[in-house]
């Protein structure tokens, strides 16, 4: 996965607000302006994101330079981790005011039934991986406070209708489980000063035929501001065994 180096330098004077996390510790978060100021770039937690292979390097570069990036390919290539790290960097540099994580709430061939608890508890099976990555990169206190303050949002795709993504870094995962109409709805939410990453593997859709991800990439190929990056089985970094298993499945 991509590695981050942490800066220990103290930020300069800027407007800040104090929040209290669940353990009653005071957390200082920067007050984000609506737009990035070109005269000042704050010190960020993750100033360097190091790609583990050429494919990750191309993917990270595409996210930096395009408003909409598709990351296609098998599990284990680091799509979600890399995109989350880029979201954290943009958030800490005040290039965006919010991070929004979404995905279709489709179960992988099994029915979990009714999940008790608050909405946050119900969403945990689908968004736990994002929370783990964010906690590793930012710390639990900062993540909990940002969630409470609406700076970091976990939201199912079904709740996106009627919304607009302004000044936000939006990451959709498991997009192969979107229908054509769902993905069209999501894509038409993109507003000003936003960056959007859509990840998925068209070969692992739980919908069977008719995945909206393949349809969207076909329609948007060659469009200005859009980049479609395809990972291969050889790009898997999770483990050598996973890479071998994936290659066996791809060869039938």
Question: What is the mean pLDDT of each successive set of 10 residues along the chain, which is 252 residues long?
Answer: 46 44 49 44 54 95 97 94 95 94 68 53 72 92 94 89 92 93 94 95 78 93 96 93 88 72
Please provide residue 162's backbone torsions phi and psi, each rounded to the nearest 5 degrees.
85, -5
Looking at residue 226, its pLDDT comes to 97
Q: Does pTM surpass 0.85?
A: no
Q: Which residues in 214-233 are b (16+ Cβ under 10 Å) and which e? A: bbbbeebeeeeebbbbebeb
Structural domains of the chain sorted by starting position, each given as residue range(s) with its CATH number in brackets: 59-107+118-250 (3.40.50.300)
Could you tell me how far CA 219 lies from the centroid of its own chain? 22
120 by Cβ neighbours in 10 Å (0-12 / 13-18 / 19+) ranks as: exposed
Looking at residue 11, its pLDDT comes to 44
Whether the CB-CB separation of 212 and 106 falls below 8 Å is answered with no
What are the Cα distances from residue 130, in Å, to 33, 86, 147, 192? Answer: 25, 13, 12, 24
Structure tokens at 239: 């483990």
List the end-to-end C-alpha distance of the chain, in Å, as a whole number: 27
Looking at residue 219, its pLDDT comes to 96
The 8 Å CB, 24+ separation contacts for 111-114 are none
The Cα 169–Cα 101 span in angstroms is 9
**Which residues are 190's β-sheet partners?**
165
């Amino acid at each position: 996965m991509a590695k981050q180096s942490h800066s220990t330098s103290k930020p300069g004077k800027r407007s800040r607000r104090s929040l209290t996390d669940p353990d009653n510790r005071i957390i200082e978060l920067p007050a984000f302006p609506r737009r990035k100021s070109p005269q000042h770039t704050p010190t960020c937690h993750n100033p360097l994101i190091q790609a583990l292979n050429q494919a990750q390097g191309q993917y990270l570069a595409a996210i930096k330079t395009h408003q909409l990036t598709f990351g296609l390919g098998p599990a284990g290539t680091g799509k979600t981790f890399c995109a989350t790290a880029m979201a954290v960097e943009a958030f800490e540099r005040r290039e965006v005011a919010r991070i929004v994580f979404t995905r279709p709430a489709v179960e992988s061939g099994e029915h979990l039934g009714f999940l008790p608890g608050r909405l946050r508890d119900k969403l945990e099976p689908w968004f736990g991986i994002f929370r783990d990555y964010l906690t590793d990169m930012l710390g639990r206190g900062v993540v909990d406070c940002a969630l409470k303050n609406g700076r970091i949002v976990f939201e199912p795709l079904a709740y996106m209708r009627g919304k607009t993504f302004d000044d936000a870094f939006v990451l959709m995962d498991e997009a192969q489980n979107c229908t054509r109409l769902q993905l069209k709805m999501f894509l038409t939410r993109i507003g000003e000063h936003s960056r959007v990453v859509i990840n998925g593997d068209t070969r692992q859709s739980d919908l069977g035929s008719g995945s909206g991800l393949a349809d969207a990439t076909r329609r948007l190929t060659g469009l200005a501001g859009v980049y479609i990056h395809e990972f291969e089985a050889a790009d898997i970094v999770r483990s050598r065994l996973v890479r071998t298993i994936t290659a066996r499945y791809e060869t039938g």
